[in-house]
Structures are given as C-alpha cells and as structure tokens.
Structure 1
Amino acid sequence: MSTVSTIPWGLVAVPVFILALPRLLAVLPQKIQFITKCSVVLIATFIMSIVGCIVSIVFALLNRRHEINYVVARIFSYIAAKPCGVTFKIVGEEHLEKCPAIVVCNHQSSMDMMILGRVFPKSCVVMAKKELQYFPFLGIFMTLSNAIFIDRKNHKKAIESTTQAVSDMKKHNSGIWIFPEGTRSRLETADLLPFKKGAFHLAIQSQQPVMPIVAAGYSHIYDSANRSFPGGELEIRVLEPIPTTGMTADDVNDLMERTRAVMLKNLKEMDQSVSSSGSKSTGSSTAIIEGTNDDGLKQRRTTKE
C-alpha cells in the first residue's frame, strides 16, 4: 500500500482513536488509569504550547490577536478533557460574549486548566506567575499571546506589571483571566480562600466589569490524594458580570466581597446538588440542609496534590 493511499485511513483512524480512548482508559486499574490520564494531560499541554506558538504567529499576521487564547484554549480542552472522559455542563455561557472583562475563577488544582480551556472568552489574556515564562514552548506561547507575568517575590515589579496591564487592556480592548485566591485551594469543603485585591483594583482602574466563573468541586472526577481520575461531568457557572462604572479605589473591598459572596453562594449550591444526587443513587443520607455551616458540608475537595 502506497504512502498516498494510507493518508485517508490515517485521517479516519486518528479521530476514531481519540474518541475511543476514554473507553480504553476506563477499563484500566485505578492507579494505572490515574497515571495514564495525567500523562495525557501533560502531553496535551505540550501539544497546546507548540500549537499555541504557531497560532499566535498566524493570528498576529491576520491581526486577530484577540482570538489567540480563545482558540488555543478550546484546542487544549478538546485534546485533554475528551480522552480523560471529562465533560462539561456550562450554565450562563452567553455571558462570555460580554467581554472584555476581568474574569475571576475559583482555583482548585492543576486540572483547572481544563476549565480555563472550556470557558476562556475572546478578547482576554492570562495573568500568571513569572516562573511560567521560562517553561519550554509554554512560555513562548504565553508571551506571544500577551500574557501578563507577575513577579510575586518583588512587590515593586508586581505593581509595575499591573499598571502596565491596565494600559495594555485599554490599548487592545482586552480583559484578563485571574484566579483571585492566588493559589490552589485544596479545601475539604465547598469554600473559597480569601481573595487578593489585585483583580478588583484592575477592574476599577480599567472600568471593566468583573465576570465571576465558578467550577463545582470535582474530587469525584479527579482526586490526586487518592490517585483517582475516573472522569465525569463537571458543572461550570458563568455568572452575570458585575459592573464597575463609576467605582473608585475606595470601592475595592466592597467589590471584592460582593464577588466572593456570589461565587461562594453558587459553589455551595452546586455542592448541594452533587451531594443530593449522590445520596439518591446510593441511598445514603448526605443531602445538605440549608443553613448548615461550612464544616458540615460534604467533602468535595482534595487536601493534597
């Protein structure tokens, strides 16, 4: 069989293999499945970095830089989440069209990259720690896509970066994706770490709305502490943007607390929904009663990574 004649077979075989991969991985023992799926995510990240460099150059030449992160994020979500058996239920996806905005999302683990990939809006860039700038290919892609790197160890440089960020946002009419908790939460309950003020200072300085995005706890899908990665459906809520028009620096705390409150409310609602579904399927009494404090919530987070 000639090389030319094998090309059509290859074009069919590759998509079929990708679609069949979740079922193939599902029959593996738990620990082997966990390692294999984590490897798939790492490989997908590497592929995304290389593809991202190419997309960044092509889209820059086409004067469509505002779409770079959006396109690459969707590619990553497909090649990473699909083989791992992770699917998404998106509520409020129409709000993504209201960008540019300062997008804030809860931060649970390294698997949040899949969430970012699925709901990353157009006209938006990423704010990330400076160390990522030196990762092979990933750093090049992020630099080409106008990512904003923050040196957390140097307060003066961090302030300079955020000041430059506001200037770039106004120049390119773009928003920023930020994890306001600042680090992965790894909490045992449906809760959020205290928010840092940076995102809300940026929102008020740029007069852009704050767009909260909340992902449900996903320890039933990915649990690094127990080396479990069975996959499943993950609910993500894109909430109504909070306007900042007319706000000043004096409003930062109020804006931050308002945003955190609405995100926490939705996070607990999703936790109750998952817990109630679990109790119905297993017959156990794990439903959460309204008014229960955080300590009484069903465990939805992993404590280690």
Structure 2
Amino acid sequence: MSTVKSLRIALFYLLLSISALSWCTLSVFIAPLLPFRARYRFVNQTWCRFAVWLAKVLLGIRYEVKGLENIPQQPCVILAKHQSTWETFFLSALFEPLSQVLKRELLYVPFFGWAMAMLKPIAIDRSNPKAALKQLAKQGHERLEQGAWVLIFPEGTRIPNGQIGKFSRGGAALAVNAGLPVLPIAHNAGAYWPKQGWGKTAGTIQVVIGSPMHAEGTGPRAIAELNDRAFEWVAKTQRDIGALAATATAMETGSTV
C-alpha cells in the first residue's frame, strides 16, 4: 500500500471518528426535542450521508444504484447482503426512518449508543437466539406499524466478498406476519471496503435493489418459500455483478437472527 493511500485512509478514519463523536454528542442534546422522523434525519441520515461522501472524496469509493424504482411507497422489510460497514451507512441514508437490528451492547457506547437508542433500533442479545427472534417479531412489527423501514441482514454477520451466508428466516417471518413484502438488496461493497482490516480500495460499488417480494400464503411454509426466493435472487444478483463465484453455496454464519 502506497504512503499516500495509507495517509488518505488514516485521514478518513480520523475525520469519521471526530465527526461521529461531535455529531452524536450534539444529537444527545438536540434529538430529544424533535419528532421521530425529524430526529432520524438529524441523528442518522445526515451523518451517514456525510460518511458515504467522505469515503467518496478521500478514498475514491463511489457507487451506482440500480432499481430505485423498485422501492415501494409503504415501508417494508429490507433483506440486504452484508459485506462491510459501507452498506450500513448507505442504507441508513437512503431509507428513512429506518430501524435496524443491532447488537444490544452497541447502545452502551457513550454518546454513539445513546444517540442510536433514540432511533428505535431493535437491539438484540445475540447470546440468546430464541429471545432475539421473539424480540425481532414483536418490535419489528411495531416499527412497521409506526411507518419505519426495518433493515435486516439475514446472514447475521458480514460475509467477505465472493461468499454468501445462509439466510435466517426472521426477516421473512416478520414480513409475512405483517402482510408486507421483503425488499432484497445485493451489492459488492466488500470488494472496496473489506470486512477485515483498515485497507480500502478505490472503485465503484454496484448496488442492486430488487422488486418487492410478497409471500404466497401464510404460515411456516410461506415464510420458508419467501426466504428461499429472496436468497436465490440475492445470490443470482451477486453473481451477475461479479461478487459471488458461480459455484459458491451458502455458508453457515452461526447466527439465527
């Protein structure tokens, strides 16, 4: 890695950290005075747009989006491929208000966690999968009724570019029980912002938003079928954009939410 590139990456993380600390501190005092939708825009959407912009300016990480016309007017369950931190920033900026599943421990981080707690996340305890699934079903349904998108990474964790994890059924179950579709999203962010390490590579991330998928019926069988259909679409699209080997199969991730 060249010296200039290393300096750009270091500067990126420095500015990202400073901006996060400053913005979260400010949000802790201002956000409680705002209604939820305005609070989301102030706390999360604005800063996430800054993070995506900063990655573009300093690191040369750009993006192209296909399928924006597929986004329904009514919020639903988003099932997105998970490869890096970039898509968390991007999706949080694109959809608003958005509630996402995250580790409960993140809410304990001073200022950052306090600001996140005001955005109605679904903060689960991953050491207790059964309780986490019940919490996802209950709070996810509440968020959808309140007019928020629910973002779920069905692989449960970040999977390196070129691989795909098994999809848990929690997101599909939430959509079926709420009578709403799932919105599948594929991308290759991991090719430029890897899961591990500090290194970043300049390039253009391809983001593809699929058509909303509705369940064919209700109950466990409909949930399984919808989940499998979403997985197959994401896997095929990942292959189409060169982010998944033709012979790759789903790998176990150890997460059930």
TM-score band w.r.t. shorter chain: 0.7 to 0.9
Contact preservation (8 Å) 1:80, 1:114:
no
Q: How many residues align?
A: 248
Partner of 1:38: 13
1:244 correspondence with 2:215: yes
1:107 to 1:93, Cα distance in 2 relative to 1, 3 A: same
Q: Does 1:253 align with 2:224?
A: yes
Comparing 144-153 with 168-177, greater Cα deviation is found at 168-177
1:49 alignment counterpart: 24
Return the TM-score normalized by structure 2.
0.80
The 3-state SS of whatever aligns with 1:271 is coil
State the shift of 1:65 in Å.
5.5
- SS in structure 1 opposite 2:213? coil
- How far residue 52 of structure 1 moved from its aligned partner, in angstroms, is 4.6
RMSD, aligned CA: 3.2
Q: How far 1:194 sits from its partner (Å)?
A: 0.6
**Which stretch shifts more, 246-255 or 155-164?**
155-164
Q: Which amino acid aligns with 2:181?
A: P
Q: How far 1:51 sits from its partner (Å)?
A: 5.2
Q: 1:122 to 1:217 in 2, by over 3 A?
A: closer
CA distance in structure 1 between the partners assigned to 2:33 and 2:72 by the alignment: 24
In structure 2, the residue corresponding to 1:177 is in which secondary structure? strand
Q: How far off its partner does 1:174 sit?
A: 2.2
Q: Which has the higher contact order (CA 8 A, sep 6+)?
A: 2
The residue number in structure 1 matching 2:200 is 229
- Partner of 1:83, secondary structure, is helix
Larger Rg: 1
What are the Cα deviations for residues 113-143 of structure 1, in whole angstroms up to 9, with x where unaligned?
A: 3333453x12421111111111122212221
Residue type matched to 1:135 in 2? V
Report the more deviating stretch, 108-117 or 64-73. Answer: 64-73
SS in structure 2 opposite 1:127? Answer: strand
* Identity across matched positions, percent: 20
What is the TM-score when the length of structure 1 is the normalising length? 0.69
- 2:49 is the counterpart of 1:78: no
2:236 equivalent among 265, 283, 286: 265
1:187-202 paired onto structure 2 within 5 Å: 187=161, 189=162, 191-202=163-174
Residue identity matched to 1:263:
V
Aligned to 2:73: 98
1:113 to 88, 98, 108: 88
Matches within 5 A, 1:124-203: 124-187=98-161, 189=162, 191-203=163-175
Q: Which deviates more, 104-113 or 154-163?
A: 154-163
AA in 2 matched with 1:144: M
